[in-house]
A = this chain, B = another copy of it.
Amino acid sequence: MAKRLKYWGWGYEGDGLQPAQTEALLRTLRDGYGIQATGDGGGPSALEALTMGPARLDPPANLAPICRTDAYERALHAFGQSQPDSIRIFAGDFAHAPDVVAYPETAEDIQRLFDWCAIAGAALIPFGGGSSVVGGVTSDVGSGFNGVVSLDMTRMARVLEIDDVSRAARIQGGARGPDLEAQLKPSGLTLRHFPQSFEHSTLGGWIATRSGGHFATLYTHIDDLVENVTMATPAGEMTSRRLPGSGAGPSPDRFMIGSEGALGVITEAWVRLQGRPTYKATAGYRFGDFFAAARAVRAVAQAGLYPANVRIVDGTELHVNGAGDGSFTLMVVSFENADHPVDAWMARAEECCLDHGGQIDVAWRDNPRANLEGAVGAWRDAFIRMPYGREQLTPRGIISDTFETAITWERFEDFYHAVRDATADAVLAATGKPGAVSCRFSHAYPDGPAPYFAFHGQGRPGAMLEQWRAIKAAASDAVIRHGGTITHHHAVGRDHQPWYEEQRPAVFGDVLAAAKSRLDPTGMLNPGVIVR
């Protein structure tokens, strides 16, 4: 029997943290930050016990074969992977679950779903891997619809063509990361797009949410990996021309990228591939001061070296994740390439790190296992298991969330203080304890970093949702007030929509509303996201 996805958390049933890993995390939060687990972390409510009404929609005969209405499917598609989603899941709050889950196999199926939803007065929520941490797939659309259909793309998951001359592939929107890479592997090529959600997110989801890959510079955002996009809309299909570059009018690709299921469903795309890297080097440096490390990142980012990785992780973030004692900031630098040795690149980047006071944690010369060693390796292990933490923390009454942004360098230090302090103050106000607020950089540009914050706080049983809302609002207000973006790669979703509306030019909001009226006249597509 195939592994089943959890309806209450990350990944497949049976996968998760080892008990010792959970213990270590809880111990650090308790001893280091005064955050006490409450309850025993018992699992979620059984399917039968969830608050979920009968399905209000009845798919027509031509759609019935691809539609599911059983409790498991409805529960699985009711939420994404955000902190508020998790809190509601463990409270058994599934009243808003979708009435129908549809698994289209063709573009025609999707068009038929549009037609039916228009007639039925239903909302339609595109669903890829369901990994949204910002409420992007949460099927809570208010009372303006006669029901909700979740459109699960994962049966449209094939690599349709591989072009090994131009290094590109045509891939269906529902392909998850591992499946997509497995289909590419015989060609020797890779999309090399590894968001943290890689295992449980899809190409269409990456395009819809402007996903950021694991790599820190250059071709890492899905925006830059797309040659064309095909998006199904109730008004017809939008397929841009497959091109390496173009200057013909405003980019139709960049209009579809980031549309978050509110303007259409990404059914396929041509994407740029690369040779699998054979030359690699990784190094780790310790800094006593987070800002000194940030200046080293700036030096590397402005040197025109384009490392695969140039990331800093502050002491708290390392400590909470068991990769440091809190006394130092770690900087990881790596280069990789399918064509040529990277020594000249790495040597110059190292100079930048040492110039700014870095101490070598893991050396790169003649060290192919550098990425597994020292704080570098410990952080890597923690990073991989991170998504599994929430299902342990939420039922133990511990609030744990992240948010990410970008800001230009000259504003970074003030921005950091303002956002960090606002978040810490809000954690204290909401929970009565200081909790933990930490920061790392997920990406670095010549003109600024993408700071990635995490916070942990003591929850109160029954009040966690409002505690989280207060902290999230304070942090988001600070991000917007001090010039950042409300999201660098997590996307807008329902959770960021109010701040997104502050951020975007008002007149551009009007343009998006006009576009939505044209493409989705009944407003069925992912209501409440991007356009309200």
Contact = CB atoms under 8 A, between A and B. Distances in A.
B249 A410 contact: no
Contacts of A250: 254-259, 512, 530
Interface stretch (A171-179, A431-439, A443-451, A459-467): A443-451
Contact of A409 (B166, B211, B345): B166
Interface string A210-244: 11100000000101000100000101111111111
A272 B448 CA distance: 11
A140 to B, nearest CB: 20
Contacts of A485: 241, 243, 245-248
Contacts of A406: 243-246
Interface stretch (A48-56, A100-108, A499-507): A499-507
Given A512-B249, A514-B514, A446 B167 contact: yes
Which of A245, A255, A275, A486 gathers the greatest number of chain B CB atoms within 10 Å? A245
A339 interface: yes
Given A248-B485, A250-B254, A303-B340, A240 B505 contact: yes
A238 B304 contact: no
Contact of A166 (B239, B241, B410, B491): B410
Contacts of A303: 339-340
Interface string A156-180: 0000000101111000000000000
A497 to B, nearest CB: 10
A193 interface: no
Given A249-B530, A408-B227, A485-B241, A511 B255 contact: yes
Nearest to A486: B248
Contact of A248 (B246, B298, B492, B517): B492
Interface residues of A, number: 95
A408 B210 CA distance: 23
B514 A246 contact: no
A243 B448 contact: yes
A483 interface: yes
Interface string A485-527: 1111111100010001001111110111011011100000000
A407 interface: yes
Contacts of A305: 339-340
A245 B221 CA distance: 10
Given A505-B238, A510-B235, A408 B247 contact: no
Looking at A209, A243, A250, A275, the one whose CB has the most chain B CB atoms below 10 A away is: A250
Given A166-B448, A221-B245, A304-B337, 11 more contacts: A167-B446, A227-B408, A238-B507, A245-B406, A247-B487, A248-B503, A250-B530, A274-B304, A304-B338, A511-B519, A514-B517
Interface of A: 163, 165-168, 209-212, 221, 223, 227, 233, 235-252, 254-260, 272, 274-275, 298, 302-306, 337-340, 343-345, 348, 406-411, 443, 445-450, 483-492, 496, 500, 503-508, 510-512, 514-515, 517-519, 530
